């Protein structure tokens, strides 16, 4: 099946989409890393007092926290 010409992306369209998505995911990843570092520094005492293993901290807590903040900030980073 051939696509009509109106659905084909030109070079400029591909370039703009690639630049937009690259900037979007880079800035989103950067803010998530900053959030995780600050959150870990705030809660390190709670992690030590509860005898949480590094496996639990990373896979149970931060792998659930990162998508939450990514979803929260994604609308903001569309405009950046």
Domain count, the chain: 1
Write out pLDDT tens, residues 40-69.
999 999 989 999 899 999 999 999 999 999
Query: Would residue 24 count as lying in a domain?
Result: no
Query: Would residue 25 count as lying in a domain?
Result: no
> What's the pLDDT at 9?
75
> What's the pLDDT at 77?
83
Query: Would residue 9 count as lying in a domain?
Result: no
Query: Would residue 61 count as lying in a domain?
Result: yes
Token pair 């369209």 is found at 13
Token pair 């084909």 is found at 8
The answer on pLDDT for 4 being more than 70 is no
> What's the pLDDT at 5?
66
Write out pLDDT tens, residues 9-26.
788 888 999 999 999 999
Query: Would residue 5 count as lying in a domain?
Result: no
Query: Would residue 72 count as lying in a domain?
Result: yes
Comparing C-alpha atoms, which of 77, 61, 2, 66 is closest to residue 35?
Answer: 66
Query: Would residue 10 count as lying in a domain?
Result: no
Domain that holds residue 54: 32-80
The answer on pLDDT for 37 being more than 90 is yes
Query: Would residue 48 count as lying in a domain?
Result: yes
Comparing C-alpha atoms, which of 38, 72, 43 is closest to residue 56?
Answer: 43
Q: Length of the chain in residues, anyone?
A: 80
Instruction: Count CB neighbours of 37 within 10 A.
Output: 10
């Amino acid at each position: 099946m051939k696509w009509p010409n109106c659905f084909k992306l030109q070079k400029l369209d591909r370039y703009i989409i690639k630049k937009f998505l690259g900037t979007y995911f880079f800035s989103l990843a950067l803010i998530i890393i900053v959030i995780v570092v600050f959150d870990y520094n705030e809660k390190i005492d709670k992690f030590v007092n509860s005898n949480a293993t590094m496996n639990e901290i990373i896979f149970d807590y931060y792998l659930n926290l990162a998508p939450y903040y990514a979803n929260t900030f994604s609308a903001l980073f569309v405009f950046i």
